[in-house]
Amino acid sequence: MEKFVLIIHSLAALAIIGLILLQQGKGAAAGASFGAGASQTVFGSEGSGNFFTRATWIIATVFFCTSFGLAIIAKNHSKVATQGLVVPAAVQQQEVPSASDVPASEIPAAAPASTDAAAQPEDKKE
């Protein structure tokens, strides 16, 4: 079912792209007054605008419905996937070991650096 809806969705997307590219802009009506309107008589006296507009609305509605259907299918798949998953209600915190529980290091601690030179301000300016 999901593949069928996905195929219809893809075809509707391609059809919308094609219909939009086939439509003429608003400035195309100005060419009809100079004799270019004879090419639009296949679609009737109103031209192709009404036909392409209706077709675009219909296929856009199909695209919207398939988008909504795919969202519902994805939601149902996620419910099925999480039904077997057990999530604990609360995660217990592990106790932090105290200083007495930590073993002593075998490496001797380094002597602190002498800060005598840094502690004495240099007041002598010559």
Residue 52 has pLDDT above 90, yes or no: no
Residue 36 phi/psi, 5-degree rounding, is -85, 0
Q: What three-state secondary structure class fits 37?
A: helix
pTM comes to 0.51
pLDDT tens digits, 84-122: 666 555 555 566 666 666 666 677 666 666 655 555 555
Q: Using CA atoms, how far apart are residues 9 and 63, in angstroms rounded to an integer?
A: 6
Say which residues have a Cβ less than 8 Å from residue 19's Cβ, sequence separation at least 6. Answer: 52, 55, 56, 59
- Alpha-helical (H) ranges within the chain are 2-22, 49-83, 116-119
